[in-house]
Structure 1
Amino acid sequence: MSVTILLGSASSARAAILTRAGIPFTQLAADIDEAALVTDIPEPRVQAQALATAKAHAVANKLLHDPQPHEPTYIIAADSVFEFEGQAYGKPQRPEVATQRWRAQRGKTGMLHSGHTVVAVLGGRKQRILQETVSATVSFADVTDSVIDDYVATGEPLFVAGGFTLEGHGATMITGVDGDPNAVLGLSLRAVREMLDRLGVSMTALWIATE
């Protein structure tokens, strides 16, 4: 029986992770009000999971709104929140915010929380929902103001949780990661594999399907 893996995100980084892992998938972005959702959730780890779950449900609802029959579909959604000195930080959005955050976190360590939700859509309805949050510690180089200014000027840190990435320019400013590096990139393949296993979907069978 064929199945569809649907990435509930517009993230090119998460799509690249699935592509590198040899997992065939389609992509559908979720439309949620992230700021409103986390207003009353102070804990960064809980925020990350709440965002991932909301995205998964939003995409499932979009899918089920289409009256056309669908083969068994497994929606994978994820979202990340950076915790630094007990506070939650999402995407900086603006250059001045990214600069301020980097000047505070340089030479220090924070925690990146990535929430994951898988929703199984079977027989025209949501059947099972699995969740897991994966956290990793990230240590930053003690870079100068000019390096930070140059990094922010690239635009790369503006739309990623915590204002950093492990790929691209950001890789030059990270001294270490303790935990799942893919979770820091946005999607833990280990967590995805285990959740799909629990739903009866073999990742190795998905590999074979792409050959």
Structure 2
Amino acid sequence: MQEKRLVLASGSPRRKELLAGLGLSFEVITADVEETIAPGTTPVDAVQDLAYKKALAVANTLSGGLVLGSDTVVALEDRILGKPADAAEAKQMLAMLSGRAHTVYTGIALIEAETNRSVRDVKATQVVMRELSAAEIDAYVATGEPMDKAGSYAIQGLASTFVTDMHGDYFAVVGLPLQLTAHHLAAFGLDVLRQGRG
């Protein structure tokens, strides 16, 4: 039986669905954090810092429990691609990713509210996209799917038809690296295999 309170500091329906798949009981409290990345910040630092800020913003409102924050960015060479501001930017990002390999970085942070004990980590996954025509990009952006996604695409959605190869963690690309998350949850006393279906 799960005893420790677990809170997901994210309003992402994808992260909620992935965490629910582990069978743990948890609640969602959305973190009100400005998701800005300072120039020169590496993708690894960016996602870990934002994940920590989200978790900390929620942990500071609680008297106890374990808070999980997460953040995802797409990086093409040294350029970080976050969520597009509008359709034009989404099209620009997809044109950049077309026919190339890029790396998706997803950071996680766990904070134990009563002790402030914390851990942060990151998973990097390489994704390769086929060549996309301008018409395909226009049609995809018109669906609205890219608009709240890092790099302007959802690998679990229509963009699955664009991906030709992947090296790493599929779940991290969707938004939450489950193996990494379960590993760190266990260190805080939440063993998924023992408590996930309790």
TM superposition score normalised by structure 2: 0.94
Partner residue in 2 for 1:91: 83
Aligned equivalent of 1:78: 70
> Are 1:9 and 2:10 matched, yes or no?
yes
| Structure showing the higher helix proportion among its residues | 1
Q: How far apart are residue 185 of structure 1 and its match?
A: 0.7
Paired positions, count: 197
Unaligned runs of 5+ in 1: 65-69
Residue 61 of structure 2: SS of its match in structure 1?
helix
**Does structure 2 retain, via aligned residues, the 8 Å contact 1:60–1:126?**
no
Structure 1 residues 171 and 138, CA, compared in 2 at 3 Å: closer, same or farther? same
Q: What residue number does 1:164 align with?
A: 153
In structure 1, distance between residues paired with 2:62 and 2:144: 33
SS in 2 for 1:56: helix
- Give aligned-pair identity as a percent: 28
Q: Which runs of 4+ in 1 moved over 6 A?
A: none
Shift of 1:42: 2.3
In 2, the alpha carbon distance for the partners of 1:60 and 1:13 equals 21
* One-letter amino acid of the structure 2 residue matched with residue 110 of structure 1: H
Cα 1:4–1:27 change in 2 (3 A) is same
1:138 maps to 2:127: yes
Is 1:92–1:98's contact at 8 Å kept on the other side of the alignment? yes
Specify the SS of the correspondent of 1:29: coil
> Shift of the alpha carbon at 1:166?
1.3
Q: Deviations over 1:60-92 (max 9, x none)?
A: 01224xxxxx5xx11111001111021111101
Distance between the aligned counterparts of 1:85 and 1:186, measured in 2? 20
CA distance in 2, matches of 1:10, 1:93: 18
Distance 1:40 1:100 in 2: 20
Equivalent in the alignment of 1:202: 191
For 1:192, what is the secondary structure of its paired residue?
helix
For 1:131, the aligned partner's letter is: R
State the superposition RMSD in angstroms.
Answer: 1.4
User: Structure 2 unaligned runs (5+)?
Assistant: none
Given that 1:18 and 1:24 are in contact with CA atoms closer than 8 Å, whether structure 2 keeps it comes out as: no
Q: What are the within-5 Å matches in structure 2 for residues 1-211 of structure 1?
A: 2-35=3-36, 38-64=37-63, 70=64, 73-121=65-113, 125-209=114-198
Cα offset, 1:167, TM superposition: 1.1
